[in-house]
Chain A
Amino acid sequence: MKTLSAVLGMTAVAAISLCSLPAGAQTYPERTITMVVPFSAGGPTDTVARLVAESMSKDLGQQIVVENVGGAGGTLGAGRVAQADPDGYTILLHHIGMATSATLYRKLAYDTLGAFEYVGLVTDVPMTIVARKDLEATDLKGLVEYVKANKDTVTVANAGIGAASHLCGMMFMSAIETPLTTVPYKGTGPAMTDLLGGQVDIMCDQTTNTTKQIQGGTIKAYAVTSPERLAVLPDVPTAVEGGLDGFQVGIWHGVYAPKGTPTEVTERLSKSLQAALQDQNVVARFAELGTVPSPADDATPAALKAKLEGEIARWKPVIEAAGQYAD
């Protein structure tokens, strides 16, 4: 059964790439592909990867297995892929950390812009500005006023340097031009626990982690950082609506391949990614996490390249202003 689908998959690949191509690319993929996720199993990025990988496997006719190479803010896994054979059998799914680690780490084992080929964007997970449930402010304006009035006592939680919540927290403080006391945690779990328990005041984190808590009324949501309101949280205004001009942050995910991977292969992967992003199962699961798959024209090599370059430039000054590096 597996062989049959593999044969079918390969025929499909061959049919798509009709014209004369190098021999390797014509039959790609002919064996299992490893998708490296630079974070540990069970986390939000791992979940995104597994959902996408499963659907892409169907389209490619070959299994994509997820390998978790966690550590050092995702730079170990990215470094692994940078050094892998550029044959399309080792690919990387990484999030915004790909762009921020270029500044957060002053000595990286790879050149962020020079070591990879691009496959496409996967999704852009919005962030939410949330606070402990007994905080008195009722809307974002009120929150900003409250924070400014109590800037010596308000605490902002984050899940460690380089984490989504750390980035968004920095962005928030720079947007309201008020430096606050940050309280780092080891991962989102303990940070959220302390927010639920009212031990810390504010956090800005991915919808993946906050949606269910907001719906359950255990924390208060002030804004989402996406351009539009979210279907899962219709009552929460966007940050721009709430008065923070230009405050849009998203944890975007992209798929990369090592530098030198043939264009035919990255094109094939990109096509398969686009198909996966329209898979009903993927769409539904993403929706439960409070996010949507990237549109087809973003799931392309060119769009990912542009995004990465833009984001490196955008975060560099923010991180340098905060003056905290991860090495």
Chain B
Amino acid sequence: MELFSNLALGFATAASPENLLFCLIGVLLGTLIGVLPGIGATATIAMLLPITFQLEPVSSLIMLAGIYYGAQYGGSTTAILINMPGESSSAVTAIDGYQMARKGRAGAALSIAALGSFFAGTVSTFLVALFAIPLTAIALKFGAAEYFSLMIVGLVSSVALAHGSVVKALAMVALGLLLGLVGTDIYTGTPRFTLGIREYADGLNFVAVAVGVFGIAEILRNLEGEKTRSVLVHKVSGLWPTREDFRRMAAPVLRGTAIGSALGILPGGGAILAAFASYTVEKRVSDKPEEFGHGAIAGVAGPESANNAGAQTSFIPLLTLGIPANPVMALMVGAMIIQGIVPGPNVASEQPALFWGIIASMWIGNLMLVVLNLPLIGLWVKLLTIPYYVLFPIIMAFCSIGVYSVNSNVYDLYAVAFFGFAGYLLVKLRCEPAPLLLGFVLGPLLEENLRRAMILSRGDPTTFITRPISATLLLIALAVLVVVFLPSVRAKREEVFQEED
């Protein structure tokens, strides 16, 4: 079996003592920097990238992959503990993870995230090893029309992110989509909604928006009731998940892994949708959808698994085509080139040790992550006992550094303040930030692909239904709509009956 000899080669490469060491250092550094509030995976990797330049190519990439997983996990940790997502994927984790933390279940939430990620990482690593090449062929079938339809599925699903008013959630999505369009229109070069500020020509910084509407809004909310509370969480019960928790996370983890693996392969931003899609599915299949938004275990387990699986499979386009699927992957490409490896379709055949070594190190990195982080959970949870008035200056300092370090753009810092204010306003008005953030990441993709599809089809709108993959996706969107609205009608009726009791 060729696969086994390849994997053996990979493990032989990745498991050499020094590569294991670099993998460990990478995971450790990634976790430690990524866990600093306001510093997400992109900023962490950008900061740590130069360190890897001094190493051998394979070691350097293994370490970088370690940093990537570590940073992602670190980002989820801050999302759960202090509602500070550093990346679009962990924004979803923040919804229920932070609620679990507030209920004293931070330890359980973190372990669930770690175990779910590990499982997803293991499965998707084997998917990468087995199917990388055929999957790439499928991914290439995705043109603009297909991406547009995929984004529609994501948008329709976003309604499920709301646990309050559906109308408000839709309005937040629309607002998010508009905010996502801020910047230069790629088709004409026209600046849009930039208020004449050239620093916003490339759009608003995601971290600035996410930190603002989630983190800073939350800080301000905590400062309201100063007299009554002194720490974020009073009582921390049980660090580990109970047997009941394990039972309830199993299915969401499996579904999350499947969703994440599938969407991660698409180079045009499919992975962005993974966590959101998983959350939607979990909320729909759950027999207690009312728990979502108030600390549902499935709301952490599913999206975290999806997120990690997507992170893993988003290596596929990079490894098989040499095309980066997201900004993090673009950094990896830069690192490879500096090491003298220009990624392209031939990497697997020209540099088998490197190719399979990276794949093997993905799994090793995930293993290390879980081994490293389970004992650390106790430490992270202790952070919650720090009085909040000490925590806030720390958060503000790190998020200033994190936001600034990505592009040295001071306007990103002004955006943090603005979105902090806007986020607080929206919280006061009982609007939820998650749909806004989904809209924000989807906005540019949606418009770009819509207009591109129209250009490519020479202005023929039937392109969306005559292309089979696109048509299928639109049917799925329709099905989701039906499923979303049917139960809500049922739920309303139930409410009415309850009131009559």
- A interface residues (Cβ-Cβ under 8 A, vs B): 40-44, 46-47, 50-51, 54, 66-73, 75-76, 80, 104, 109, 152-153, 155, 160-162, 181, 183-187, 189-190, 192-194, 196-200, 208, 211-213, 215-218, 284-285, 288-289, 324-327
Contacts and interface: CB of A to CB of B under 8 A. Distances in A.
Contacts of B317: 193
Contact of B267 (A40, A41, A184, A189): A189
Interface string B313-337: 0000100011111010011111101
A42 B330 contact: yes
A279 to B, nearest CB: 13
B272 to A, nearest CB: 13
Contacts of B268: 190, 193
Interface stretch (B118-126, B184-192, B252-260, B293-301): B184-192
A194 B50 CA distance: 31
A253 B183 CA distance: 26
Contacts of B291: none
B407 A71 contact: yes
- Ordered nearest first, which 8 A-B pairs have the shortest CB separation? A212-B344, A42-B334, A216-B345, A197-B140, A72-B201, A199-B143, A326-B189, A42-B331
B189 A212 contact: no
Contacts of A44: 337
A54 B50 CA distance: 11
Contacts of A183: 452, 455-456
18 contacts: A42-B332, A50-B53, A66-B50, A67-B408, A68-B46, A70-B407, A75-B198, A155-B455, A160-B186, A161-B184, A186-B186, A189-B325, A193-B267, A200-B456, A211-B342, A216-B346, A285-B340, A325-B189
Contacts of B452: 183, 185
B465 to A, nearest CB: 17
Contact of A71 (B189, B327, B409): B409
A212 B342 contact: yes
Nearest to B46: A41
Interface in B159-175: none
A326 B407 contact: no
A213 B343 CA distance: 9
B18 interface: no
A216 B323 contact: no
B218 interface: no
B456 A218 contact: no
B141 interface: yes
Interface in B185-211: 186-189, 191, 198-199, 201-202
B144 interface: yes
A76 B198 contact: yes
Interface of B: 46, 49-50, 53, 140-144, 184, 186-189, 191, 198-199, 201-202, 267-268, 317, 321-325, 327, 330-335, 337-338, 340, 342-346, 407-409, 444, 448, 452, 455-456, 458
Contacts of B189: 104, 161-162, 324-327
A211 B144 CA distance: 25
Nearest to A215: B346
Given A42-B331, A189-B324, A327 B409 contact: no
A284 B340 contact: yes
Interface centre among A72, A80, A193, A217 (most CB of B within 10 A): A193
Contact of A189 (B46, B323, B340): B323
A285 B324 contact: no
A186 B448 contact: yes
Contacts of A67: 408
A304 B470 CA distance: 50
A198 B456 CA distance: 11
Interface centre among A67, A104, A194, A324 (most CB of B within 10 A): A194
A196 B321 CA distance: 9
Contacts of A193: 140, 267-268, 317, 321, 323
A218 B345 contact: yes
A237 to B, nearest CB: 22
Given A47-B338, A75-B198, A199 B46 contact: no
A257 B142 CA distance: 45
Contacts of B334: 41-43, 46-47, 50
Contacts of A200: 456
Contact of A212 (B188, B343, B458): B343
B331 A41 contact: yes
Contacts of A162: 189
A69 B338 contact: no
A288 B342 contact: yes
Contacts of A216: 344-346
Contacts of B324: 42, 189
B407 A43 contact: no
Contacts of B343: 212
A190 B455 CA distance: 16
A51 B322 CA distance: 20
Contacts of B448: 185-186
A193 B330 CA distance: 14
A215 B344 contact: yes
Interface centre among B198, B325, B330 (most CB of A within 10 A): B198
Given A71-B201, A216-B344, 11 more contacts: A41-B49, A41-B334, A47-B337, A76-B409, A80-B408, A155-B456, A189-B325, A190-B267, A197-B142, A212-B346, A216-B345
A142 to B, nearest CB: 23
A126 B231 CA distance: 60
Contacts of B344: 211-213, 215-216
Given A47-B334, A181-B455, A199 B144 contact: yes
